Amino acid sequence: IHKSFHNIHPAPSQLCCRSLSEVGAPRWNDYEVPEEFNFASCVLDYWAQMEKEGKRGPNPAFWWVNGQGDEVKWSFREIADLTRRTANIFTQTCGLQQGDLLALILPRVPEWWLVTVGCMRTGIIFMPATIMLKAKDILYRLQMSKAKGIVTTDTIASDVDSMASECPSLKTKLLVSDHSREGWLDFRSLIKSASPEHTCIKSKTVDPMVIFFTSGTTGFPKMAKHCHGLALQSTFPTSRKIRSLKTSDVSWCLSDPGWILATMGALVEPWTAGCTAFIHHLPQFDTKVIIQALLKYPINQFFGAPSIFRMILQQDFTSIRFPALEHCCTGGEVLWPKDQEEWKRRTGLPLYDIYGQSETGIICATLREMKIKPGFLGKASPPYDVQVIDDKGNILPPNTEGNIGIRIKPARPVTLFLGYEGNPEKTAEVECGDFFNTGDAGMMDEEGYICFLGRSDDIINASGYRIGPAEVESALMEHPAVAESAVVSSPDPIRGEVVKAFIVLTPQFLSHDKDQLTKELQDHVKSVTAPYKYPRKVEFVPDLPKTITGKIKRKELQKKEMGQM
């Protein structure tokens, strides 16, 4: 546990091409950093080559269904062809270049996978975001990033058009739709005529690849920038033991394409293993559809946030056997031991936990071969050296509560984000001595298992969504009924936590019906920002607790909410 990252970190070497000559999935050692790495050429094209040589089975690499009878199945060779075409659309038709930023706001449609790999091939930095974003969220992202391009769908395109004049950097708009739209390039038509000949860039492992927007306690989301090395983590022997995916597996990761969980769990991880990434369009979350899909399709690997498992367990069944399902994995929020037990009791399957952040990829995991310790996340996942630290960055002894930290000195792990783009102050804030401070409180036992004990700051994790209170408070303040508000986390039996707003009303709304006003404020938040952030609980209060300097004491409200006061 205490071994220094530096001592086990060999010198970078040129390894990328080596993998292509090996039989078996491309892999690097847990701490090996090749000088050059590109997921498209090193991993995806490898599997396409294996297919060509008859060394991979006939199961598809990608299998998409929409529940209405439509289905897309692609082999690795087809994906290689289609993503090369996508790369040519970006560089030849759109004139985008390596290092340019592209906003990627799509639901679970096959084109999301093409755009992601197309960006990797060209070195265009993609910025995934959820389709739930509203106009203001999108404007913020386009302006913050100075994105040169956007790929999105009909529902978002009109918002983009309405604010185009405020985004001077935005030159290219690509629409994924069956209809055309003035001023937009039609992705589905272009891909048919684009050339399938494209040479993947020779990216350095440390060259930027992707930016995830991630919420903080104050202000609006920050841009966590990752290099191509992020995708390297899934090739490491230890990471491969998390789910032990085989080429014959059918893996379903339910995450919305806007989150790092989808980039890693629904694309990088299954394709590194050469297996099938199964996707259900699922425009609306519906537990019954999930259960039906698990019964109908040969899905043997299932991955989603704990809330999804809890919601399935809410359904009226005492026992269920999903015919193909072998392994279930969860992450993104706290997994409670009682849900793990209940899932095992009713489905016969253990539920394995992983832990990570938008800044990190997977930090800890309970590998398939490890014993599950209920209430623990698992152990450090290489290349991370994870320690529980105090506020100065000193390593704490076992069974002592502190902050979960990742060692960054003397060497920064290549899978850790490069920093918050354009925000060196915030990047410096999360560094603590020789460690990156996750901001999560935790404890490690004598065996190296780590447990999660909550956030050290005000960030809310509601059913796996990381929500900054300031974002919700700012949305509430736009409503004339709100004089002041304070947003905190509130415990919830299904979603783990939900957003709760304490609201001081303006005088003219004091006499309004409170239930009606609650609904109006919830709808208001859903209409001005991504709806997953809306306060599921609202309490009207005469005033808010404040410090003598007038700062709202969120912590006090939080403690009250947790029943600790």
> Which residues are near ligand BCO by CB under 6 A?
132, 255-256, 259-261, 285, 305, 307-308, 331-332, 356-358, 362, 463-465, 526, 531-532
Phi, psi (deg, nearest 5) at residue 63: -140, 110
Give the span between the Cα atoms of 382 and 434, in whole angstroms.
17
Rounded to the nearest whole angstrom, what is the least distance from the CB of residue 12 to ligand BCO in the complex?
Answer: 25
Rounded to the nearest whole angstrom, what is the least distance from the CB of residue 260 to ligand BCO in the complex?
Answer: 5
In one letter, which amino acid is 104?
L
Beta carbons of 98 and 123 less than 8 angstroms apart: yes
Rounded to the nearest whole angstrom, what is the least distance from the CB of residue 318 to ligand BCO in the complex?
Answer: 23
Beta carbon nearer to ligand BCO, 79 or 312: 312
Give the span between the Cα atoms of 326 and 311, in whole angstroms.
20
- The owner of tokens 């026992």 is 319
Beta carbon nearer to ligand BCO, 125 or 308: 308
Beta carbon nearer to ligand BCO, 110 or 257: 257
Beta carbon nearer to ligand BCO, 96 or 530: 530
Rounded to the nearest whole angstrom, what is the least distance from the CB of residue 259 to ligand BCO in the complex?
Answer: 4
Beta carbon nearer to ligand BCO, 332 or 469: 332
Beta carbon nearer to ligand BCO, 459 or 541: 459
Phi-psi region of 422 (alpha: psi -120 to 50; beta: other; left: phi over 0): left
Rounded to the nearest whole angstrom, what is the least distance from the CB of residue 439 to ligand BCO in the complex?
Answer: 13
Rounded to the nearest whole angstrom, what is the least distance from the CB of residue 472 to ligand BCO in the complex?
Answer: 13
In one letter, which amino acid is 488?
V
Rounded to the nearest whole angstrom, what is the least distance from the CB of residue 365 to ligand BCO in the complex?
Answer: 10
Give the span between the Cα atoms of 302 and 261, in whole angstroms.
13
Edge-to-edge strand ranges of the sheet holding 222-227: 185-186, 172-175, 149-152, 101-105, 125-128, 208-214, 222-227, 419-420
Rounded to the nearest whole angstrom, what is the least distance from the CB of residue 511 to ligand BCO in the complex?
Answer: 26
Rounded to the nearest whole angstrom, what is the least distance from the CB of residue 564 to ligand BCO in the complex?
Answer: 25
Beta carbon nearer to ligand BCO, 332 or 468: 332
Rounded to the nearest whole angstrom, what is the least distance from the CB of residue 265 to ligand BCO in the complex?
Answer: 8
Beta carbons of 383 and 5 less than 8 angstroms apart: yes
Phi, psi (deg, nearest 5) at residue 15: -115, -10
Phi, psi (deg, nearest 5) at residue 175: -105, 130
Beta carbon nearer to ligand BCO, 353 or 561: 353
Rounded to the nearest whole angstrom, what is the least distance from the CB of residue 522 to ligand BCO in the complex?
Answer: 7
Angle CA 128–133–137, to nearest 5: 95
Rounded to the nearest whole angstrom, what is the least distance from the CB of residue 234 to ligand BCO in the complex?
Answer: 12
Phi, psi (deg, nearest 5) at residue 62: -140, 130
CA distances from 555 to 219, 259, 497, 547 (A): 17, 28, 15, 11
Phi, psi (deg, nearest 5) at residue 224: -80, 110
Per-residue 3-state assignment (H helix, E strand, C coil) for 280-309: ECCCCCCHHHHHHHHHHCCCCEEEECHHHH
Beta carbon nearer to ligand BCO, 89 or 103: 103
Give the span between the Cα atoms of 319 and 221, in whole angstroms.
42
Please state whether the peptide bond connecting residue 196 to the residue before it is cis, i.e. omega within 30 degrees of 0: no
CB-based contacts of 519: which residues, under 8 Å, 6+ apart?
none
Beta carbon nearer to ligand BCO, 103 or 224: 224
User: What value does the CA radius of gyration of the chain take, rounded to a whole number of Å?
Assistant: 23
Give the span between the Cα atoms of 268 and 43, in whole angstroms.
9
Beta carbon nearer to ligand BCO, 25 or 260: 260
Beta carbon nearer to ligand BCO, 16 or 223: 223
Beta carbons of 364 and 386 less than 8 angstroms apart: yes
Give the span between the Cα atoms of 333 and 349, in whole angstroms.
20
Rounded to the nearest whole angstrom, what is the least distance from the CB of residue 331 to ligand BCO in the complex?
Answer: 5
Rounded to the nearest whole angstrom, what is the least distance from the CB of residue 292 to ligand BCO in the complex?
Answer: 16
Q: How many CB atoms lie within 10 A of CB 72?
A: 17
Beta carbon nearer to ligand BCO, 282 or 544: 282
Residue from 83, 98, 126 nearest 226 by CA: 126
Give the span between the Cα atoms of 381 and 373, in whole angstroms.
16
Q: Kind of pairing, strands 276-280 and 185-186?
A: unpaired
Beta carbon nearer to ligand BCO, 56 or 495: 495
Give the span between the Cα atoms of 214 and 420, in whole angstroms.
9
CA 469 to chain centre: 19
Q: Kind of pairing, strands 276-280 and 250-253?
A: parallel
